Amino acid sequence: MKEYFPEIGKIEYEGRRSEEPLSFKHYNPEETVGSSSMSDQLRFSVAYWHSFTARGADPFGAKTITRPWDEIDDPMNRARARAEAAFEFMGKMGLDYFCFHDRDVAPPGETLAETNENLDEIVSLIEKLMEEYDVELLWGTANLFEHPRYTHGAATSPNAEVFAYASAQVKKALEVTKRLGGSNYVFWGGREGYKTLLNTDLGLEQDNLARFLAMAVDHAKKIGFEGQLLIEPKPMEPTKHQYDFDVEHVAAFLRKYDLEDHFKANIEANHATLAGHDFHHELAYARENDLLGSVDANQGDLLLGWDTDQFPTDVYGTTLAAYEILKNGGLAPGGLNFDAKVRRESFEAQDLFLGHIVGMDSFAFGLKVAQRLKEDGVLEEFARERYSSFRGEIGEKIKDPDTDFEVLEEHVREKVSEPIELESGRQEKLKGLLNSYITTTG
């Protein structure tokens, strides 16, 4: 088989003092952290679309990236070469998982039937490559945002034919995901939202989205797909207001339509920050609501108001994310998918490797710090103390369903003397503590 990245060999773990850029400084797949190996805890995945299909175009400029397979004219031959290159990359990086949209892997045909034939053919090749490279599918999804038919939305389009088309596309994408043994299936509603309420029936659009998801649940069941279904929140871009704004919106939507038993959230760091939340907040909110399913690992630029999808390098962010993941008891069957792209200025093949290396190392390092934090229980102990009054007499009374405002008023009259003594939140101390854990982890 042709080699697509001949200048780059297998990326090895060399330790934190290594000066070799094409090596792992912290990610040592077999090393045990807590209850299992780093690779089992982190479950890294490559995003097919950013790394093998997209080519660095942005709204202001043309493509800047040309990989060897991009030079092949015939779209099916190009798709075959792209698949071979993608798996060579995963093999060299030691990535155990990948994620894809239906349209990333195979070109569309003239009709839906032809499109599905193209997809089936490339999926057969991918099936062989997965076996050969021992790589698994973390999740599959359908691209319901790129084609002009989805201009006004897919499941929330005002046009019922478009709704039907999107349903047919998801039906096939679910089937293909099952065929490849995918652990999850993702719904990201890129165009499920609105640009102006002046032309939008918000109530009908939400009902339609729920109907669409309910049919997806039924179809998954019908074909015996046992993977986890995930909704990926994002507040905006490309729409002004996306219906799956953040985890809290998703939770409310699922509860309203009785879908909460069937879905979890796929949380993306850059989407969290676009929604005005820390990544940490979204993970914690999901965990507390039993919705933490999987993660799209990336980071944004807080000075830019859009989804820049950069590889994660901020070790504070990865530490706190890993801390939530550990508190969740891991992510499986979810994982950490690098929904991240190299900058359009970083157009060489080695940049693709370097981006994943720094992302994997940042999470591996974060995991090591988070494991120490969790083992020592310093943050948990502080919080336990902070809420200790809820384990005292009045706290227990508040939990008692027979307690009402009158009982509490009586308590205040009889037992509370002003000023109530409060304790410091010690944010600065805790941040210093976090710094110490980060700076003393090897």
Q: In which residue are the tokens 């969740």 written?
A: 328
Q: CB of 355: closest distance to ligand XUL in angstroms? A: 16
User: Would you list the DSSP string of 201-246?
Assistant: -HHHHHHHHHHHHHHHHHHHHHHT--SEEEE---S-SSSSEETT-S
Q: Which does 102 bind (CB under 5 to 8 A by kind): Co ion, ligand XUL, none?
A: none
Q: CB of 262: closest distance to ligand XUL in angstroms? A: 19
Does position 318 interact with ligand XUL (CB under 6 A)? The reply is no
Q: CB of 190: closest distance to ligand XUL in angstroms? A: 6
Residue number, 141 or 228, with CB nearest to ligand XUL: 141
Q: What does the per-residue mask of binding to Co ion show for 290-309, with x meaning CB under 5 A?
A: ------x-------------
Alpha carbon distance 174, 368 (integer Å) = 36
Q: List the one residue out of 277, 217, 211, 202 whose CA is nearest residue 247.
A: 277
Q: Which of 307, 361, 362, 368 binds ligand XUL (CB under 6 A)?
A: 307
Alpha carbon distance 336, 334 (integer Å) = 7
Strands 193-194 vs 263-268: parallel, antiparallel or unpaired: unpaired
Cβ(369)–Cβ(438) below 8 Å: yes
Footprint (CB under 6 A) of ligand XUL, residues 327-356:
339
Rounded to 10 deg, the angle between the 247-256 and 202-223 helix axes is 80
Cβ(202)–Cβ(208) below 8 Å: no
Q: Which does 186 bind (CB under 5 to 8 A by kind): ligand XUL, Co ion, none?
A: ligand XUL
Does position 141 interact with ligand XUL (CB under 6 A)? The reply is yes
Residue type, 282: E
Only one of the segments 139-147, 166-174, 218-226, 337-345 lies at the binding site for Co ion (rule: CB under 5 A); that segment is 337-345
Q: In which residue are the tokens 């790394």 written?
A: 51
407 to each of 176, 390, 392, 417, how far by Cα in Å?
A: 59, 16, 16, 16
Does position 339 interact with Co ion (CB under 5 A)? The reply is yes
* β-bridge partners, 231: 187, 265
Residue number, 99 or 373, with CB nearest to ligand XUL: 99
Q: Which residues are catalytic?
A: 101, 104
Q: CB of 139: closest distance to ligand XUL in angstroms? A: 9
Q: Which of 170, 173, 186, 360 binds ligand XUL (CB under 6 A)?
A: 186
Structure tokens given for 81: 């070469």
Does position 45 interact with ligand XUL (CB under 6 A)? The reply is no
Q: CB of 301: closest distance to ligand XUL in angstroms? A: 15
Q: In which residue are the tokens 């502080």 written?
A: 382
Residue number, 141 or 183, with CB nearest to ligand XUL: 141
Judged by CB under 6 A, the number of residues near ligand XUL is 10
Alpha carbon distance 167, 155 (integer Å) = 8
Does position 39 interact with ligand XUL (CB under 6 A)? The reply is no
H/E segment holding residue 426: none
Does position 246 interact with ligand XUL (CB under 6 A)? The reply is no
Alpha carbon distance 123, 102 (integer Å) = 10
Residue number, 53 or 441, with CB nearest to ligand XUL: 53
Residue number, 4 or 100, with CB nearest to ligand XUL: 100
Alpha-carbon radius of gyration of the chain: 24
Q: CB of 99: closest distance to Co ion in angstroms? A: 9
* β-bridge partners, 104: none
Q: Other CB atoms closer than 10 Å to residue 272's CB: what's the count?
A: 27
Does position 188 interact with ligand XUL (CB under 6 A)? The reply is yes
Q: In which residue are the tokens 């599959």 written?
A: 140
Q: Which of 25, 103, 191, 234 binds ligand XUL (CB under 6 A)?
A: 234
Alpha carbon distance 184, 29 (integer Å) = 22
Q: CB of 93: closest distance to Co ion in angstroms? A: 19
Q: Which of 268, 282, 307, 361 binds Co ion (CB under 5 A)?
A: 268
Footprint (CB under 6 A) of ligand XUL, residues 259-298:
268, 296
Q: Which residues bind Co ion (CB under 5 A)?
A: 268, 296, 339
| Positions that interact with ligand XUL (CB under 6 A) | 101, 141, 186, 188, 232, 234, 268, 296, 307, 339
